[in-house]
Amino acid sequence: MDPSDSVDDDLYRFSPVTFNDHAGKLWIVTILSLIYTSLIALARAYIKYKMFGFDDVLFAAATAIAVFIGLSNGLGKFNSITTSEQWAISSKCTIASVILCLLALSLAKCSVLALIHRIISSKPGKNKMVCVVLMVFTGLWGLGSSLAWLVNCRAGTLLTVDNVKQCPDQSARWGVITAIDILTEILTWLLVLHLSWSVNISFARKCQVVTAFSFRIPLIAISSVHLAYSQKYPSSLEPQFAVTNTLICQQVMIAWSLISATMPNLKNFLKSFSIGMGFPVAFDFTMSGSSKAYALQSLRNNRSTNAASATATAHSANWRPDLVSNQTTAAHRSSRSNSRDVSDEGSGSRAGSQELIINKEVAWNVTYEDQQNVFTKR
């Protein structure tokens, strides 16, 4: 392959990835993070618009915008191929993205804790107070971490070659911030675990609750990787290039934090897509206390009698204490004498309707029969 062809191809690429320019990788991750964040924003606006959580989406979007501005000014490239003016702009954008990232992570944690508090708000005990204290501590962590980045640090020198002098102790700052971040995640998960095992529900349902909140556990690993990369770029000869992996981890951390904070609410969101038998309610049969279920069949009107019936026979232990067999018959008559047959396809056409429409009145007669006596209820 002719080397000149490769050079010509790079000229037409939006952001070519070379040995001294990894801005293209950061473009890809940031755009994907913004897409995922936007999708999560739509879901959260639908299911949790009255709770904490929408502000962190706005902070995440602002973080992506700050990174985009930095990418347009040499972020992700060698300092040796960019100007000092670009260093200052990319440094300011990086600090802005870090502060917005910390606020977004803090609000995402508060969103999860607010959901837990809403669940246990009607229950007495110390768990509610623990949840409130943890929420306040998380909020203070977000504010304190943001201020920690502004104290004794010139914004325009973060990614310059003398950043260690102008913005000292960056590794120590990230170490404390990450330690508290991981601590709050562990405490939140332990709180959910304690609450799940202290209520009288089945083991399977306890596992479902814990699993829904366990999606935040990978954030511990992502934060650790982010800390490892954050300790490398300050001492690098090309800090504007070395910070690329740190910002990539930052975007992944924001996206996954918002996704995992929305996971416990997705059940109600997915219920809205349920057919619901023509009603605007998605029935949850798993909440029923009885494990016995009977399949129902569509009832057809008879042209001569205009009546329909369905018969089911079951053991009497399900309905009566005496051990006798019984038969239950349910029938209905329509108030319209000349209605047409309702087919399965026709009834299914209204399955997704969100309107409570009643087309005709029906009267039901339920008859119970057993071996000892026969009685009828009308």
**Residue whose structure tokens are 């329909």:** 308
**Residue whose structure tokens are 């205009």:** 306
pLDDT per residue over 132-164, tens digit each? Answer: 999 999 999 999 999 988 888 888 889 888 888
Range from 7-21, 36-50, 322-336 carrying the lowest mean pLDDT: 322-336
Range from 27-36, 195-204, 304-313 carrying the lowest mean pLDDT: 304-313
More confident residue, 217 or 196: 217
Helices (H), the chain: 3-12, 23-47, 54-71, 84-120, 127-150, 163-166, 170-198, 203-213, 218-230, 239-242, 244-262, 266-271, 344-348
Domain-wise residue ranges, the chain: 14-271, 277-377
For residue 187, how far is the Cα from the chain centroid?
A: 19
CATH second-level architecture of 14-271?
Up-down Bundle (1.20)
Amino acid present at 221: A
Could you tell me the two tokens for 98? 């870090």
Q: Is 291 exposed, middle or buried (0-12, 13-18, 19+ CB in 10 A)?
A: exposed
pLDDT score recorded for residue 254: 92
Range from 117-121, 235-239, 371-375 carrying the lowest mean pLDDT: 371-375
pLDDT per residue over 239-287, tens digit each? Answer: 989 999 999 999 999 999 989 988 887 766 555 554 444 444 443 434 4
pLDDT score recorded for residue 15: 73
Which residue, among 90, 43, 99, 45, has the nearest Cα to 254 in the 3D structure? 99
